[in-house]
Amino acid sequence: MASFSLPPINDNPDGGWGPSSSNLPDQFKFKDIPYAPYSKSDKLGRFADWNDSSTDNRQSAVGLPQTQNTRGGGPGGRRRDGGQAFGSGTASAFAYFHVEDESSFSLVDNKTAPPRRGGGFARGGRGGPRGGAYNNNARGGAQRGGRGGFNVRGGNNQRGGRRGWRDWEKNNRTRESSVVISPQWSMLEEIEFHRLAKLRLEVDEPVDLDSYGRLFAYDKSYDRITTKTERPLQLVDRIRYNTTTSDDPVIQELAAKNTATVYATDVILSVLMCAPRSVYPWDIVIVREGNNLFFDKRDGGPFDTVTVNENAADPPQDPTPPNPNNPAEKAAVPEVPSINSATSLSLEATYINQNFGFQSVVESPPPQPVDFSHANPFYGPDETDPLASCGYRYRVFDLGVTEDEDIKICVRTEVDAYTPGAGNPKDGQGLVTIRALNEFDPRSQGAGGAPDWRTKLDSQRGAVVATEMKNNSCKLAKWTVQSVLAGADLMKIGYISRASPRDNTRHVILSTASMRPTEFAGQLNVSLANGWGIVRTVTDLCMKMPEGKYVLVKDPNKPVIRLYAVPMGAFTGEDEDGEEFEEEQEMV
């Protein structure tokens, strides 16, 4: 009978379970084999799966376990291979990592895609909604996600993995700058919008210096217009000036007397105060002469037109110009802008705003027009065309933080009419500003999901107003700031639509709303203190620079404003070579 001898038993001196790596004999044949715990209840699987797509993003060299993009790793997986095996968390400790050539290593996934299964988070079955289980009587679930719906592929509360129609093109569309940035210009400062939103400056009531122009009374019959009693918009031939700051003769006289430090118009100042809301590009020309700053606009720039749906999720677009670097597009004929393009809508909105303001006043007495202290400063003796109803109020705001600071800004503000019986307009009582919102085609691109005004304006005015406040947040904020700066008691906003969606030449007035500027600013969440803080910051920044001309430019595609130093002859055709600018920079 064969003899049996009991082999030596190596106890674990550490008190742990299993053999000890520090107390093994040299002849032990399992010495170099790593030990992993094992449970009899574990499920047996593949020893190695080279086609598993879940290993494309491999674990790091430190052995951190993956929790996402793995099979059965969470509720987002399609299938689960069972519970986690006993001791599987230590498997990564024995994995091999080739650290020298890891960056150039990649796997090719040749695994056949499994057939799509129907399920709670998949595309709805026949006869059901398309968005999935969390999509009741809707197509895209809680958020618009194309076929993705809610909680599909893209993570919780995100857009679905599959994108909507032409979404790839929307993200690639870029806007051009409002002014061509010359390589000779030097950038002095760059400020992000989130930094501007944190600025605050409380400003006291302004001081009225003088008033110019003539005002007509507002026609109250426009307040009673409804969609059933619409009134056509007429073409009224009147003259209204939009002169820049430096060309204003009144401001030139005030600057000669050192009345203030900064000079601007309400149109220019409102753009700067509402800068964090802006999406479209703009630029402000800043000229420093001695201790004075002049905020000017360029002729034909963005200040002369009105934007449409600037803040919409999908704003109106202009046709993409042909790419000169692409031979296929170089010879192509440029696409003619449609009546619903961004440029066409901007011109249409400007036309509507001007004519609605001209039409909604009573020019023939009664009531009598009101003449301010002086006549219109821009109307020459040789002019024969009739003037529009417009009053200019020159007001001074104190931007000083302490009593010792003497930083004031003189603003030329404008009002459009006055309300009869609301006080003396010469004393700033009953003043009115008139603006207009326009509807083009609710079903076209760039409409921003606006409801049909003819069917919803009378019954669901709140929905119409809320949509306009969302799509035209910047434009409404600028109008409100202009009304507050001018000291207007009321702001009249007309709702004007096309007589036919395909005709941008004929329009009808559907309704008119009356708002108090200060209350409307609260509804729009417009902070005047934040606006004055932005003005003071830009003023301090320019006052630190030497005398010269500067341009404050809003980036066309980023929420950023930049300050550039430009030659004194810029925007006048006198700086073709830029030699004067180079000499100035060398002297500085």
Q: Would 447 be classed as within a structural domain?
A: yes
Same-domain check for residues 230 and 168: no
Do 497 and 561 share a domain, yes or no? yes
Does residue 239 share a domain with residue 201?
yes
- How confident is the model at residue 47, as a pLDDT? 67
Would 129 be classed as within a structural domain? Answer: yes
E strands along 247-389, which residues? Answer: 262-265, 283-289, 292-296, 361-362, 370-371
Extract the tokens encoding 40.
């009899």
Q: Is 84 a member of any domain?
A: no
Residue 528 has φ and ψ, to the nearest 5°, of: -65, -30
Q: Is the same domain home to 140 and 195?
A: no
Domain for residue 179, yes or no? no
Q: Same domain, yes or no, for 380 and 447?
A: yes
Beta strands in 364-446 (DSSP E): 370-371, 390-398, 408-415, 417-418, 431-439
Q: Closest Cα partner for 409 from 245, 243, 190?
A: 245
User: Within this chain, do residues 290 and 166 fall inside the same structural domain, yes or no?
Assistant: no
Do residue 232 and residue 160 come from a single domain?
Answer: no
Tokens of residue 22, six digits: 């520090």
> Are 189 and 562 within 8 A, CB to CB?
yes
Q: Is the bond into 183 cis (omega within 30 degrees of 0)?
A: no
Separation of alpha carbons 93 and 34, rounded Å: 10
Q: Are 135 and 253 in a shared domain?
A: no
* β-pairing verdict for 370-371 and 560-566: unpaired
Both tokens assigned to 493: 């906003």
Residues in the chain: 588
Q: Do 405 and 523 fall within a single domain?
A: yes
Residue 524: inside a domain: yes
Residues 201 and 241 in one domain: yes
Q: In what order do the strands lie in the sheet with 560-566?
A: 186-192, 560-566, 548-554, 283-289, 292-296, 262-265, 408-415, 390-398, 207-215, 370-371
> For residue 56, is it within any domain?
no
Asked if residue 377 is part of any domain, the answer here is yes
Cβ(532)–Cβ(273) below 8 Å = yes
Q: Is residue 390 a contact partner of residue 416, using CB atoms and an 8 Å limit? A: yes
Per-residue confidence (pLDDT) for residue 423, from 0 to 100: 87
Residue-level pLDDT at 324: 66
Share of the chain above pLDDT 90, in %: 55
106, part of any domain: no
Query: Which pLDDT score is estimated for 329?
Result: 62
What DSSP letter does each residue of 22-84 carry, written as one string?
A: TS--TT-TTTTS------TTPPP--S--TT-GGGSSPPPTT-PPP-SSSTTSSTTSS----SP
| 381 and 242 part of one domain | yes
pLDDT value for 64 = 40
If asked whether residues 441 and 486 sit together in one domain, one would say yes
pLDDT under 50 in the chain at which residues? 54-99, 101-106, 116-163, 166-171, 574-588
Alpha helices (H) along 266-399: 266-273, 327-330, 342-359
What domain range includes position 230? 186-317+337-587
Instruction: Report pLDDT for 356.
Output: 97
Per-residue pLDDT, 3? 77
The angle subtended at Cα 494 by Cα 489 and Cα 496, nearest 5°, is 170
Provide the number of structural domains found in the chain: 2
